């Protein structure tokens, strides 16, 4: 039975009209505009208001799907700000076309870990699953509301069993010509965004946070992971998390990331790459600009697995793949209490440096620029402020670090340099290495 999207009572309609729908956000790219123009569709003409059971317990998924179907292809869906919507069913949203989704209230996913591990949507990379799968074309999602992943149960469950499949909060598969803006994301079980097989998607003014309240940390809570996607823009956002602020996974091309405040993260990372034998990973044409990075393990990072099987942890293993990283720019980054301002490693996931030397990665890294870095590192690896470590001079070419004004707490500017042209690096190179990442 099809559920109506709108509860037709006069008082309810009057309340909704008085509240009003949100205006589409204005996108202000600073300092760069993306390679392709922002989506700019005409306004939508009909309104669908999403119902809720309103008891904070009963699953509202069918109400949500009903509103999406009713207003698809030219409508505006409203989640009123006074409502909290409970989602306990995995939903496929890849049918969406030409639709505005105006989230003013809160969407909260249940903590039924048994259900979600069995029914969430599976991706093909690193055991990624998602509560819902967002795809389609010309989809605008905004409104200032909140998506709540109810993550605490997941953090505790994962601490007991590292093989727990934790859903990402926003799982994207095949989305194009779309915008997600003015959203609050809280307590994701794992990544906040996994963006796969997408093109010309803009993320603007996204507020991410969600620390654990128990002794079990909120791990692997990347802000964005980009995979097999092109022309993705991430800008004007604030991220408090426990893993990569943004990560460019295999086959990410023409990506613009700018004007972010990142706190508690593992930096903005290319990779990890070379994880799967027989796969050729490509990351090409990435611009990262105007970043404020605080209390993080890294500022800018490129991480590649060695050319043999290696284990980062029981649930994260890899090595033996190849590929290329090319045309990457990190610029205008301020670091504050960051372990390494810059790190390149082709020994990711492996503490045995001898093994990495015996099985050097064949993945090439070339035309990479780090420029105008400012600030201070933590004391963790001092006197080092950075590490530039490649498996051979043949696979790492044209690596530049210019105008690097970063110091350790001791005031040093040393960097570990392996198989590098040290004349292109504005640091004091040393052969003494500290730290494994």
Could you list the active site residues?
266
Q: Which of 265, 271, 272 is nearest to 292 (CA)?
A: 265
CA 435, distance to chain mean position in Å, is: 25
Q: In terms of DSSP H, where are the helices of 161-282? A: none
Q: Which of 184, 193, 172, 199 is nearest to 144 (CA)?
A: 184
Q: CA-to-CA distance for 270 and 265, rounded, in angstroms?
A: 14
> 11 vs 7, 47, 85, 105, 113, CA distance in Å?
10, 17, 21, 19, 39
Q: CA-to-CA distance for 227 and 235, rounded, in angstroms?
A: 18
Scan for tokens 């530039």, then name that residue: 388
The DSSP H or E segment spanning 93 is strand 91-93
Question: Which two three-digit tokens encode residue 372?
Answer: 């105008």
Long-range CB contacts for residues 311-317, cutoff 8 Å, separation at least 24: 311/349, 312/348, 312/349, 313/162, 314/162, 314/163, 315/127, 315/162, 315/163, 316/126, 316/349, 317/349
C-alpha atoms less than 13 angstroms from C-alpha of 374 in its C-beta half-sphere: 8
Beta-bridge partners for 384: 414
Phi, psi (deg, nearest 5) at residue 269? -120, 135
Question: Which two three-digit tokens encode residue 202?
Answer: 């803009």
305: helix, coil or strand? Answer: coil
Q: With the C-alpha atoms ordered 206, 211, 216, 217, is the resulting torsion angle positive or negative?
A: positive
Q: Are 137 and 97 in contact (CB under 8 A)?
A: yes
Helices and strands counted in the chain (H then E): 5, 30
Q: Show Cβ contacts of residue 379 under 8 Å, excluding neighbours closer than 6 positions.
A: 408, 409
Q: CA-to-CA distance for 410 and 431, rounded, in angstroms?
A: 19
């Amino acid at each position: 039975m099809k559920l109506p999207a709108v509860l037709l009572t006069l008082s309810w309609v009057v309340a909704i009209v008085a509240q009003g729908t949100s205006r589409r956000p204005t996108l202000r790219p600073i300092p760069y505009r993306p390679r392709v123009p922002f989506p700019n569709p005409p306004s939508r003409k009909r309104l669908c208001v999403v119902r809720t059971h309103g008891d904070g317990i009963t699953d509202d998924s069918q109400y949500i799907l009903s509103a999406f179907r009713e207003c698809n292809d030219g409508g505006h869906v409203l989640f009123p700000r006074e409502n909290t919507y409970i989602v306990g069913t995995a939903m496929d949203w890849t049918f969406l076309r030409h639709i505005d989704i105006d989230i003013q209230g809160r969407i909260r996913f249940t903590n039924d870990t048994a259900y979600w591990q069995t029914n969430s949507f599976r991706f093909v990379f690193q055991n990624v699953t998602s509560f819902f799968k967002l795809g389609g074309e010309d989809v605008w999602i905004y409104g200032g509301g909140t998506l709540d992943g109810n993550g605490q149960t997941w953090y505790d469950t994962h601490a007991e069993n590292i093989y727990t499949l934790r859903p990402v909060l926003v799982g994207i598969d095949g989305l194009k010509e779309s915008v997600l803006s003015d959203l609050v994301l809280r307590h994701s079980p794992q990544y906040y965004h996994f963006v796969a097989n997408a093109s010309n998607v803009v993320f603007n003014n996204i507020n991410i946070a969600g620390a654990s309240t128990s002794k079990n940390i909120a791990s692997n809570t990347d802000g964005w992971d980009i995979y097999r996607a092109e022309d993705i823009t991430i800008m004007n956002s604030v991220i408090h998390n426990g893993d990569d602020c943004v990560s460019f996974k295999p086959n990410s091309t023409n990506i613009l990331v700018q004007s972010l405040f990142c706190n508690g993260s593992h930096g903005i990372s290319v990779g990890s790459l070379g994880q799967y034998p027989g796969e050729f990973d490509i990351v090409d044409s990435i611009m990262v600009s105007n970043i404020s990075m605080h209390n993080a393990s890294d500022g800018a990072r490129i991480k590649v697995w060695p050319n043999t099987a290696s284990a980062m942890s029981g649930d994260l293993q890899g090595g033996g793949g190849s590929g290329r990283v090319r045309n990457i720019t990190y610029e205008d980054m301020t670091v504050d209490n960051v372990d390494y301002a810059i790190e390149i490693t082709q020994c990711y996931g492996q503490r045995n440096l001898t093994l990495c030397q015996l099985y050097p990665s064949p993945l090439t890294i070339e035309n990479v620029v780090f420029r105008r870095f400012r600030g201070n590192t933590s004391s963790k690896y001092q006197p080092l402020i950075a590490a530039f470590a490649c498996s051979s001079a043949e696979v790492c070419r044209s690596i530049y670090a210019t105008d690097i004004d970063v110091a350790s707490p001791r005031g040093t500017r040393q960097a570990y340099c392996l198989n590098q042209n040290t004349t292109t690096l504005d640091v004091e190179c040393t052969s003494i290495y500290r730290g494994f990442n």
